[in-house]
Amino acid sequence: MTMSNDDSPRCYFAVYADPTAPGRVTIEGGRFGNRNMPKNMDVGDMVLLYCTSSYAGYAKSVPGIGLVTAVNHGVKAFWYDYLAFDQPVPLEFVRFAVTDDDAIHVANIRREWLFQISRESFRAVVLATRLKSRGQKSLAVQKLL
């Protein structure tokens, strides 16, 4: 059965840059804000957390996922529990693994810092690695996989 991107939980791709720059946060910090935050984002949604080349230690990779725990559309921010992968997934693999529609957005990550992706794309990236702690894997992620 194929599910649309509007079915809950939804999947997103968030882009993090150099966390030492003023006003920036770390992926481990569990918070993300963006003026173009999707109106349909909600608690329980899942986010691939991508780090740009300026992010030391995780450059050009997805080191983990965020399970959304709170959303404030008024301030255009969301909070999440961070689940790290055993090994970050390189951007080259992400580009190969996502659907053609999602690949268009991934190709524009310099301009798009937060966007919805298909469950198929999310699943492909998550299956490329393992979560560091089996105990951390939530029911939402288990159902998706």
Which of the two residues, 68 and 37, has the higher pLDDT score? 68
Question: Residue 129: how many CA atoms within 13 Å on its side-chain side?
Answer: 23
Domain parsing of the chain, residue ranges: 11-130
pLDDT bin (cut points 50, 70, 90) of residue 51 is very high
CB within 8 A of 91, min separation 6: which ones? 50, 60, 61, 62, 106
- Superfamily (CATH H level) for 11-130: ph1033 like domains (3.10.590.10)
Confidence band, pLDDT 50/70/90 cuts, at residue 24: confident
Predicted structure pTM score: 0.85
Do 32 and 46 contact (CB within 8 A), yes or no?
no
